[in-house]
Amino acid sequence: MSKSKLGDQLTFPGTSLTVHRMGYGAMRLAGPGIYGPPKDPDAAVAVLREAVAAGVNHIDTADFYGPHITNQIIRKALHPYPPGLVIVTKLGARRPPDKSWQPANSREELIAGVHDNLRNLGVDTLDIVNLRMVGPGHGLEVGSIAEQLTALADLRRKGLIRHLGLSNVTAAQVAEAQAITDVVCVQNYYNVAHRDDDALVDDLARQGIPYVPFFPLGGFSPLQSSTLSAVARRLEATPMQVALAWLLQRSPNILLIPGTSSLAHLRENLAAAQLTLSPPTLAELDGIAAPRRFV
C-alpha cells in the first residue's frame, strides 16, 4: 500500500484495480433531483477534471443518474480516460419521466443497462458493475438476488464487465452472491450517524473486500450533529471533513466516494484524507449514531 494525500491505496480483491481510499461520487453532477442536465455543465466538467488532477482514481457513477447525463459528462470531461482510473457503475434502477426511482432488474433491463453504460462512458468494458437492489426508499429489499447476479455474471463472461460488486444489499445477499461469483466491493448506506451496517463492514474487512458507503455526508439529508460541529471547531476542520475522516478511520476496507457538484466542496472533501482523529475523538464521534436495537 502506498500512502498519498488521498489516503492509502486499496486493490479490489482478485483484480488489478487499485484506488486511493478517497474517491469521488458523480451522482450530484446531474440536474436537480438527479434528473436532467445540470444548470452549469462546464462546472460539472471542471469538478471531474480537478478531482482526477488531484489524484482521484475511483469515480462512482450510474447511467440512471440523469438518466445518461452523468456518464455523458464523465466522458466529456475525462475521455480518453487516464491509465489507472477506475469507474464503478451500477445497474438495477431506472428513472421514468415522473423522476421516481424504479427497479430495472430483469435480464433484458440489465443487458440494456450494460450497453447504455458502455455507450455513454465510451468504453468497451466496464471496470466494475454493482448490482444495485432497489427496495423501499433507500431501504433493503430482502430475498434472493441470484437471478439478477447470474445475468450479470453471464455478461461478465462475455467480456462486457470486468468485475462485479453489490449495492443496497443485506449480509445474506452478499453471502448468496459470493456462491455465484466473486464480489469485489459492497456499496451500502452508511455514515457516522447511520451505522446499521457495522457488522457487515467488519465482516467484509475480514474478507479483504472494500465497503463503499453511499451518503457518507448524509446524502439528501446532510449530517447535522452538535458533536460533529464541536469536534470540527476543535480541529479547525469542517463537520463534513470530520465525518469523512471518521469513515476512513472506522475500518481499513472503507473507500470513500463523497458526492459534490462544487469545486470548493471537492477540495474540502479531498483534504479530509489528511485529517487524523485521536482515539478519544473517535470515541466521542461514535456516540453520534443512534443506538442499535437488537431484537
Ligand X SMILES: NC(=O)c1ccc[n+]([C@@H]2O[C@H](COP(=O)([O-])OP(=O)(O)OC[C@H]3O[C@@H](n4cnc5c(N)ncnc54)[C@H](OP(=O)(O)O)[C@@H]3O)[C@@H](O)[C@H]2O)c1
For the CB of residue 295, give the shortest distance to ligand X in the complex, in Å. Answer: 25
Sign of the alpha-carbon dihedral angle for 214, 3, 208, 128: positive
| Residue 129 or 151 having the CB closest to ligand X | 129
For the CB of residue 132, give the shortest distance to ligand X in the complex, in Å. Answer: 5
DSSP conformational letter for 29:
G
The residues binding ligand X (CB under 6 A) are 25-28, 60, 90, 132, 167-168, 187, 214-219, 222, 240, 257-262, 265, 268-269
Strand, helix or coil at 198? helix
CA dist., res. 14 & res. 6, Å (int): 23
65 is catalytic: yes
| Residue 170 or 260 having the CB closest to ligand X | 260
Q: Catalytic: which of 24, 65, 190, 211?
A: 65
Under 8 Å between Cβ of 183 and 149: no
| Residue 132 or 250 having the CB closest to ligand X | 132
Strand, helix or coil at 263? helix
| Residue 51 or 118 having the CB closest to ligand X | 51
Strand, helix or coil at 114? helix
For the CB of residue 28, give the shortest distance to ligand X in the complex, in Å. Answer: 4
**Which is nearest to 147 in space by CA: 100, 180, 118?**
180
CA dist., res. 278 & res. 168, Å (int): 31
Residue nearest to ligand X (CB): 259
For the CB of residue 152, give the shortest distance to ligand X in the complex, in Å. Answer: 15
Strand, helix or coil at 18? strand
DSSP conformational letter for 35:
B
Residues annotated catalytic, as ranges: 65
